[in-house]
Amino acid sequence: MESNSNQAKHAWRILILLFLANLLNFFDRTIPAIIIEPIRHEWDLSDLQLGIVGSAFTVIYAIAGLPLGRLADSWSRKKIIGWGLAIWSTFTALNGYAWNYLSFVSVRMGVGIGEASYAPAANSLIGDLFPSHKRARAVGIFMLGLPLGLVLAFFTVGAMVKAFGTWRAPFFIAALPGVLLSIFFFFIREPERGAAESIQVSKVPPTQPIKKVLRIPTMWWIILSGLTFNFAAYAVNSFLVSLLQRYYHFTLVKAAITTGFIVGITGLIGLTVGGWIADKIHQRSERGRLLFGAFNLFVSGILILLALLQSEEMVLFFSLLLGFGWLLSYNYYTCVYPAIQDVIEPRLRATAMAIYFAAMYLLGGAAGPAVVGWFSDYLTRSAMLRSGTSEMTEQFKAIGLHDSLYLIPVTVLLTSLFVFLGSKSFAKDASEMKRSLEGKT
């Protein structure tokens, strides 16, 4: 029998691979947000069309995630991850060959199918590798792939475009490490379902899995929180570089690097420190972890609102307020993701994550860029009409985009409310999950 020390080392080795794949996941999906202005000018696109680029990816990601999540509860998770990583990396390279707007969007949908395989299988693996009292820290390290992927993308993609003279170059460069990393997943040793639980888990597949997941009150609040949080996150990631270029007159490279600090570097602190604090709080109070997340999200929403109220000349204060607000928002992941593992039995966790991701991406992540893009176009036309001119200038586009982003603090504050409401039913649902496992042994 393998010693606890060897089991722990094995768990951490797999977690490192999962972190690296998550980093590439968010690097690849972030590239279009950085080259948004060059493709807007090349194909003469509106903000709604730019938003649809992200929304089309997210819709297919959410739809494909449901069957792939169910598959991860019954088939080899390492193979699902390996093949998914290889597929999305291949489609990332194909994005560099897009010849018009429609072809670009179509290939992004292919990337979405590949990436949809990843999160449910990866989160299911983490639930079987780490016990409940260590999951927030493990999830925090896994989710470091998000800000590091963003940082790497925002710090390098602009330089790649400048060095090669084309927005297509980053897609080709990004594909190679993904294909290489995918090979490693086929050789890991996958843990048994429920291996990290203190109670032995039945090997019989549960009946009516989706119905069982949706019977849990906490899951409904978590799903609603994912919807509003992803609305905010995907809208910011899609349009912040463009806002800095239009409203604050930054160059592409400067705007990308500034965005990397605001939404990327902050995540390194939020996820590492936040995960450690969340685990400590969870050891003292079952619902404390979710209350910690709700409080951080409330303060985050206020800071983001204050950032948007800064004038055009106060770009430094805008960046500091938005960056600190975004740092606090990262505690969403370290508080909510482990909570899902605690209220869902092991053989349903990938299914639960797939349902959660379907809602948060289809209704949140997909809606965010499209709604903000549409609202930006609407406010741009309104500003133009109020001025009494018929000429659409970059100044009006800057005002329209800036004002449309007031939707962000609203959705972050709603996320805080939903997480708080989830904390009220969490203890009961976690206890019922443990009792259901005891009844199956």
Higher pLDDT, 206 or 248: 248
Helices (H), 35-117: 36-43, 47-72, 77-95, 101-116
More confident of the two residues 201 and 171? 171
What are the angstrom distances between the C-alpha of 190 and each of 10, 67, 254, 266, 353?
10, 21, 43, 32, 19
pLDDT at position 438: 60
* Sign of the Cα pseudo-torsion (249, 253, 259, 262, in order): negative
Least confident range of 268-277, 294-303, 327-336, 401-410: 268-277
Query: Residue 148: is its pLDDT beyond 70?
Result: yes
Task: Tell me the pLDDT band of 64, cut-offs 50, 70 and 90.
Answer: confident
pLDDT at 197: 47
Is residue 263 predicted with pLDDT exceeding 50? yes
Structural element, H or E, at residue 328: helix 315-329
Cα–Cα distances in Å, from 86 out to 25, 91, 183?
A: 11, 9, 8
Contact 73, 212 (CB under 8 A): no
Tokens standing for residue 22: 């998550």
**70-100 as b/e, with b when 16 or more CB fall inside 10 Å?**
bbbbeeebbbbbbbbbbbbbbbbbbbbebee
Q: Render pLDDT for 149-173 as a digit per residue (tens, 0 to 9).
A: 888 998 899 889 988 989 999 999 9
For residue 58, pLDDT beyond 60: yes
Q: Are 373 and 261 in contact (CB under 8 A)?
A: no
Query: Coil, helix or strand for 190?
Result: coil
Residue 391 pLDDT: 67
Residues 84-92: what's their mean pLDDT?
Answer: 91
What are the phi and psi torsion angles at 130 (to 5°)?
Answer: -130, 135
Q: What are the structure tokens assigned to 343, written together?
A: 């209220």
Give the closest residue to 401 by CA, choosing from 37, 61, 138, 72. Answer: 37
Residue 369 pLDDT level (bands cut at 50, 70, 90): confident
Distance from C-alpha of 175 to C-alpha of 54, rounded to nearest angstrom: 19
For residue 308, the surrounding DSSP H or E stretch is: helix 288-308
Residue of 244, 241, 239 lying closest to 405 (CA atoms): 239
Q: Computed from CA positions of residues 365, 116, 278, 142, in that sequence, does the dihedral angle turn out positive or negative? A: negative
What dihedral do alpha carbons 339, 342, 345, 347 form, nearest 10°? 60
Q: Encoding tokens for residue 367?
A: 């809606």
pLDDT of res. 1:
44
> What are the structure tokens assigned to 399, written together?
């005002």
What digits encode the pLDDT tens for the residues 269-327?
887 787 778 778 877 877 888 999 999 999 999 999 999 999 888 889 999 999 999 99
Split at pLDDT 50, 70, 90, the class of 236 is very high
pLDDT band at 109 (very low <50, low <70, confident <90, very high): confident
Quote the mean pLDDT of the chain: 84
Count of CB atoms within 10 A of residue 431's CB? 13
Q: Looking up tokens 């193979």, which residue turns up?
A: 79
Mean pLDDT over residues 82-100, rounded?
90
What gap in Å lies between CA 403 and CA 374, rounded to an integer? 12
What's the predicted TM-score (pTM) here?
0.75
Question: Is residue 166 left, alpha or beta, with left meaning phi > 0 and alpha meaning psi from -120 to 50?
Answer: beta
- Whole-number Å distance between alpha carbons of 169 and 405: 30
Of the chain, the percentage scoring pLDDT greater than 90 comes to 27
Pick from 407, 284, 303, 287: nearest CA to 336: 287
pLDDT in tens, 413-433: 999 999 999 999 888 888 887
Both tokens of residue 258?
């500034």
pLDDT at residue number 390? 67
Compute how many other C-beta atoms are within 10 angstroms of the C-beta atom of residue 192. 10
d(CA 19, CA 166): 30
